[in-house]
């Protein structure tokens, strides 16, 4: 019987959201919105505010305000876009990368507590699943083309 791909996609999205919420529930870090922007910049290298807003599904003014706060805290830097003098490119600073790595480490530690309770066969399945998830995400041109 063929797999119901819509149902599988729905189950995957729900499980991923719940897992992410669990892993980041007790972070000693920045707000989730800030971490999402730092994570996106880690993937892209640099981006315009409009690209960040589109990726985060928010308005450009909302993203501009968030980027300004991150810039005020030294977590991102803004440079003129050489291709369009009216636009700026946003990128991570070393401090921003450090904050992002710290948050990821904390999330990993939170999940490690739960992972220790699983049998080795489940851990092997999860390792294989992570590789498949990375392939799945790479099928999206926006996700697959860091600059």
Model confidence, pTM: 0.83
Structural domain 5-116, CATH architecture: Orthogonal Bundle (1.10)
Q: What is the pLDDT of residues 29-62, one digit of tens each?
A: 788 899 999 999 998 889 999 999 998 899 999 9
CA-CA distance, 1 to 19, in Å (whole number)?
A: 29
- Any idea where the domains of the chain sit in the sequence? 5-116
Name the token pair of 28.
Answer: 């000693």
Cβ proximity of 70 and 84 under 8 Å: no
Instruction: Report CA 137 to chain centroid distance, whole Å.
Output: 12
- Tell me: pLDDT of 146 over 90: no
Q: What is the pLDDT of residues 101-124, one digit of tens each?
A: 999 999 999 999 999 999 999 999
DSSP code of 57? T
The fraction of the chain above a pLDDT of 70, given in percent, is: 95
Name the token pair of 143.
Answer: 């996700």
């Amino acid at each position: 019987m063929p797999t119901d791909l819509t149902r599988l996609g729905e189950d995957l999205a729900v499980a991923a959201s719940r897992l992410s919420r669990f892993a980041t529930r007790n972070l000693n870090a920045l707000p989730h919105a800030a971490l999402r922007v730092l994570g996106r910049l880690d993937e892209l290298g640099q981006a315009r505010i409009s690209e960040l807003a589109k990726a985060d599904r928010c308005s450009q003014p909302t993203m501009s305000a968030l980027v300004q706060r991150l810039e005020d805290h030294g977590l991102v830097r803004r440079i003129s876009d050489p291709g369009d003098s009216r636009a700026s490119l946003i990128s991570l600073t070393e401090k921003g990368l450090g904050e992002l790595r710290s948050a990821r480490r904390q999330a990993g530690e939170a999940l490690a507590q739960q992972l220790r309770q699983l049998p080795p066969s489940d851990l092997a399945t999860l390792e294989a699943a992570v590789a498949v998830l990375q392939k799945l995400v790479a099928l999206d041109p926006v996700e697959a083309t860091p600059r």
